[in-house]
Structures are given as C-alpha cells and as structure tokens.
Amino acid sequence: MVKPVVSVLFCCLGNICRSPTAHGVFESKVTELGMASRIYTDSCGTGGWHVGEPPDSRATNAARQRGYDLSSLRARQVQADDFQRFDYILAMDHQNLQDLTAMCPGNYTGRLSLFLSFAEGAREEEVPDPYYGGAHGFSHVLDLVEAASDGLLREIARAHPAR
Ligand code: 4NP
C-alpha cells in the first residue's frame, strides 16, 4: 500500500519572516525523523509585496544559529488552489487566519487554523510579527515555531499513521 502524503502550508503576511522560519524548522524536523517522503512542506504570505524574495536576513541568520537553513526558500503569495493542495494550512496570527478564512472554499476538507494551536502548553496564540523589531523577536519566533512543529508532528503521526 502506498503511504499517504500529508501536505502542510505555513502562512504569514509577507512570507519572509515567520512562515519561512516555520517552513525551514518543520521541514528539518521532518527530515530528521525520516518522514520527508510522507510530509510535503511549503509556505506563503497573504500579501504579495515580497514575492520571489529570499527570507529576511535576520530570519535566516537567527535560524542558522539553531542549525536551520532557510537560504533556498523564496516568497510566494497564497493562491486559490492551495485549498485543494494542502491538508493543513496554518496561520501565524489572527489576521492571517481571517484573510485565509475569507478565501477558503466551503468544501475545504483540510484543517485551517492557527499554527500555535499545536504548541502544547503555549500561552500565546499568535507568532508575533518580528519585522519591525529587533533580533530578540526572531529568536522568539524560533522558540514558538519549534514548539508548535513538535506538536504538529505528533498530530500528524496520530491522524495519518504510516501503513
Ligand atoms: P512576515 O513579516 O509576515 O512574518 O513575513 C513581515 C514581512 C514584511 C512585512 C510585514 C511583515 N511588510 O510589511 O513588508
């Protein structure tokens, strides 16, 4: 039997800070667990200002300090067919979730939610936008994204067991 492929799309506003960080961290954990052939990861932004750009250098540097490589990622904007292609569409903040919900077809069968809903014990609901702040914001994004990625991997293992 062919093993199911689970697809995960991370979404923020610009796709240059938070969602590429989530993309790189989650994909690295998936690869470490030997699940790269079962879980497909991507990221996007609700806005189109940075389409085609690599992640913000502050995000790339903060990620590199923890061993994650974001350098090959390029920003793209969410598109209508993402709701056909992805089992999980995970928003970084309430505004992203509201914008995605407005685009989401009524028959979407996947899960559209806040990414931090998977972070067990998290006190925050949103990954705060670090774009206009200092370096600490990027390290805080990594803390939240690492915790939520671990929770999401547990959820996928439970909901989509390998056959
Ligand atoms: P992101 O951060 O949504 O985490 O990628 C931002 C990046 C760019 C802008 C805002 C937030 N911007 O206004 O250009």
Number of domain units in the chain: 1
Residue 18 lies in a domain: yes
Q: At residue 80, does pLDDT exceed 60?
A: yes
**Is the shortest distance between the CB of 23 and ligand 1 below 6 Å?**
no
| 12, 16, 50, 145: residue to mutate for ligand 1 pocket, most atoms within 8 A of CB | 16
| 15 within ligand 1 shell (Cβ under 6 A) | yes
Flag whether 103 is in a domain.
yes
What average pLDDT does the segment 146-161 reach?
Answer: 96
Instruction: Note whether residue 21 is domain-resident.
Output: yes
| pLDDT over threshold 80, residue 2 | no
* pLDDT for residue 135: 87
Residue 1 lies in a domain: no
In a domain, 89, yes or no: yes
Question: What CATH code is carried by the domain that includes residue 75?
Answer: 3.40.50.2300
Q: What pLDDT is stored for residue 24 in this prediction?
A: 98
Query: What pLDDT score does 3 carry?
Result: 57
In whole angstroms, give the CA distance from residue 36 to residue 41: 9
90-139 pLDDT tens trace: 999 999 999 999 999 999 999 999 999 999 988 999 999 999 998 899 99
Q: Residues 75-103: what's their mean pLDDT? A: 98
DSSP strands (E only) in the chain: 6-12, 39-45, 88-91, 111-114
Q: What local confidence, expressed as pLDDT, does residue 4 receive?
A: 61
Does the residue 40 lie in any domain?
yes
For residue 27, tell me if it sits in a domain: yes
- Contact between 28 and 63 under an 8 Å Cβ cutoff? The reply is no
* Residue 15 Cα to ligand 1 middle (Å): 7
* Cβ contact 129:17 at 8 Å: yes
Active site residue 129: yes
Establish if 68 belongs to a structural domain. Answer: yes
User: Ligand 1 centroid vs 87 CA: distance in angstroms?
Assistant: 24
Work out the pLDDT band at 162, boundaries 50, 70, 90: confident
The predicted-structure confidence for 5-61, as pLDDT tens digits, reads as follows 999 999 999 999 999 999 999 999 999 999 999 999 999 999 999 999 999 999 999
Instruction: Return the residue whose CA atom lies nearest to atom 12 of ligand 1.
Output: 14
CA 20 to chain centre: 7
Does the Cβ of 12 fall within 6 Å of ligand 1? yes
The domain in which residue 146 lies consists of 6-159
